[in-house]
Each structure stands twice: as C-alpha cells, then as structure tokens.
C-alpha cells in the first residue's frame, strides 16, 4: 500500500516499504466502543490513502456506513493536504451489507475498475451486535479477495499495469476476547492477504499499528492534532522516524 505512509517517512526507512502493506489489508481496531479520537485517527489514515491515490490520478471507490459531511480534526504529518480538485476520481458509497455484497459480486460488470478500494468501519456495515459477526467478516473478506483477483486478471489480460489495492477497517467487540489484553491472531479469520492491529497505548496520545504476524510495528503520536509516525520496528530493529523534543 504505497500511499499509507507519508513520503517523509518512507525516505527514512531502509526497507522496501511497498512490501509492508499487501494488496489487501484488514486494519483491525481492538474495541468497537472505541473513543472518538481513535476512530478519527483511523478515518484520517484511510482518507489519507484515498487522497494520495486521487492526487496520482487513480480511481478510488470509498465505502463507509454514513455520508461524509466533514473531515476529521487531525492530519497525518508529512502527508499531502486534501485536494478536493482531485477528488473527482473518488466515488463515495454508503452501503448496506447487501449492497456491498452486490457491488463486489457484480464488479465484473463495471465499466471502469477502481485502482483502490477503501472500506471504512466494516463493523458498522455488517452490524457488530450480530452473533455471526466473525462468520460474516470472513465471508465478506473472501468475497473481496475474489473480486480483487478478477480485477488483477482483467488488468493483466489488458496489459494495463498494476491491479487494485484494498484497505478495510473494522472495529471488533471486546467480548470476542474477554479476559485477554489484545486480540489473539487466531481469533479473527479473514480472507485478505494481511491483517494489522491498530491500538491505543497507555495514554491518550500514543498508538501503535502492527502487522498481526509480528513482521513490523509502527508507533504513532498524536500531538496538536498532528499524527506522527514516530518509530518503526522491523525484523527486531527499531528505527526512530522523528526526533522528539523534550518538554
């Protein structure tokens, strides 16, 4: 997911950052009842990806449970500001679960295939109180993967370059892992290539974004409405990404 990290951050990292985030990534958050700040940060991360894709002239399909009436109060430090002149290439959808299934089931009929698909708060589209929540999460993510494979095959047959990327965010009810400090990896079956966990740390300003397999971990800091990627743990090596000033 080339658009996930700010350019100023990727320049400091001695790894191929294009390999960190796979073609389809499930961004899990550990509490569906999470405070507004956590939800706003996740929203800003996803919108930043869509904005950067649009700035490159990519076609984006963005799904969320309700209409976008205002932007978040935060900004990813080092990322381009939202450029609404480029947003003609972003199509926003506000689906029910049924219409979301219909979109992916009929994607082979689309006249123009997207370069990026973002699904925000899949938990609210599914309905997180339902007893079969995990089963529906698994079924939907498998459907998403099948649709992506079709897009990749279409693009390959037409020699039209890269395939489609998919980024999905989902908050999970804490009752799923009651008595444990975090989500066990085996607990959340899904059909995507990758899952990452976004977690609030000890206070209101520190967060982490970690691959479920332990391949990497970013630490983030919220300060004065700016979201900073502060450090990166990869293959047991810690890389400091920003210089922290002492207060």
Residue with tokens 């693009």: 155
For the chain, the first-to-last Cα distance in angstroms comes to 35
pLDDT > 80? residue 236: no
CA distance 30 to 175: 10
Would you say 68 and 94 are in contact if contact means Cβ atoms under 8 Å apart? no
Query: Number of folded domains in the chain?
Result: 1
CB 116 within 8 A of CB 60: yes
CA-CA distance, 22 to 193, in Å (whole number)?
A: 6
Domain containing 172: what range? 2-243
State the Cα–Cα distance between residues 136 and 190, nearest whole angstrom: 10
pLDDT digits (tens, 9 = 90+) for 139-188: 999 999 999 999 998 888 776 667 799 999 999 877 776 655 566 666 78
Question: 157-182 burial, b if ≥16 CB within 10 A, otherwise e?
Answer: eeeeeebbbbbbbbbbbeebeeeeee
Rounded to the nearest 5°, which phi and psi values hold at 11?
-70, -25
Longest dimension (CA), the chain: 57
pTM as predicted: 0.90
User: Of all helices (H) and strands (E), which one includes residue 133?
Assistant: helix 133-157
CB neighbours (10 Å) of residue 113?
A: 20
Q: How far is CA 183 from the centre of its chain?
A: 17
- Rounded to an integer, what distance in angstroms lies between the CA atom of residue 164 and that of residue 180? 36
Average pLDDT in the 219-227 region?
Answer: 95
**Residue 158: what pLDDT?**
74
CATH assignment of the domain containing 98: 3.40.50
Tell how far CA 221 is from the center of its chain. 18
Interval 42-96: pLDDT, tens:
999 999 999 999 999 999 999 999 999 888 789 999 999 999 999 999 999 999 9
Given pLDDT bands bounded at 50, 70 and 90, which one contains residue 31?
Answer: low
């Amino acid at each position: 997911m080339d658009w996930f990290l700010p350019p100023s951050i990727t320049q400091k990292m001695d790894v191929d950052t294009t390999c960190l985030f796979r073609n389809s990534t499930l961004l899990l958050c550990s509490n569906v009842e999470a405070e507004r700040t956590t939800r706003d940060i996740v929203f800003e991360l996803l919108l930043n990806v869509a904005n950067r894709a649009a700035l490159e002239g990519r076609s984006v399909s963005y799904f969320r449970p309700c209409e976008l009436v205002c932007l978040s109060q935060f900004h990813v430090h080092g990322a381009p500001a939202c450029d609404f002149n480029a947003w003609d290439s972003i199509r926003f959808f506000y689906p029910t679960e049924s219409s979301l299934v219909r979109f992916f089931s009929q994607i082979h009929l689309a006249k123009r295939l997207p370069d990026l698909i973002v699904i925000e708060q899949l938990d609210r589209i599914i309905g997180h109180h339902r007893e079969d929540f995990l089963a529906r999460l698994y079924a939907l993510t498998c459907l998403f993967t099948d649709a992506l494979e079709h897009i990749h095959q279409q693009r390959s047959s037409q020699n039209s370059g890269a395939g489609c990327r998919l980024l999905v965010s989902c908050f999970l009810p804490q009752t799923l892992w009651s008595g444990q400090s975090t989500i066990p990896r085996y607990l959340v079956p899904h059909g995507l290539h990758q899952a990452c966990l976004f977690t609030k740390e000890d206070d209101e300003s520190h967060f982490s974004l970690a691959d479920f397999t332990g391949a990497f971990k970013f630490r983030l800091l919220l300060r004065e409405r700016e979201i900073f990627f502060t450090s990166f743990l990869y293959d047991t090596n810690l890389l400091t990404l920003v210089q922290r000033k002492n207060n």
